Amino acid sequence: MVWGEHEGRLRTAVLALKHAGRDELARPLGQRLAGLVARQPWLEDLDVVTAIPSHPYHRVRRGWVAAELVARVTAGELGRPFARLMRRRGLTRQAGRDRAERLRLPSHRLSARSELPGSTVLVVDDVVTTGSTFRAAARALTGAGARGVYCAAVSRTPSRGGR
Question: Looking at the domain assignment, is residue 96 inside a domain?
Answer: no
Note whether residue 95 is domain-resident: no
Examine residue 115 and state whether it is found in any structural domain, yes or no: yes
Q: Which domain holds residue 36?
A: 2-90+108-156
* Residues in the chain, total: 163
The number of distinct structural domains making up the chain is 1
pLDDT per residue as tens digits for the range 7-57: 999 999 999 999 898 999 999 999 999 999 999 999 999 999 999 998 776
Neighbours of 107 (CB within 10 A): 13
| The overall pTM is greater than 0.85 | yes
In a domain, 73, yes or no: yes
pLDDT (tens digit per residue) in 114-123: 999 999 999 9
Is residue 145 in some structural domain?
A: yes
Instruction: Tell me the CATH number at 77.
Output: 3.40.50.2020
Any domain includes 98: no
53's CB contacts (< 8 A; 6+ apart) are: 59, 65, 67, 68, 84, 86, 87, 88, 110
Digit-coded pLDDT (tens) for 70-97: 999 999 999 999 999 999 876 555 455 4
Residue (of 42, 36, 48) closest to 117 by Cα position: 48
β-sheet bridge partners, residue 82: 49
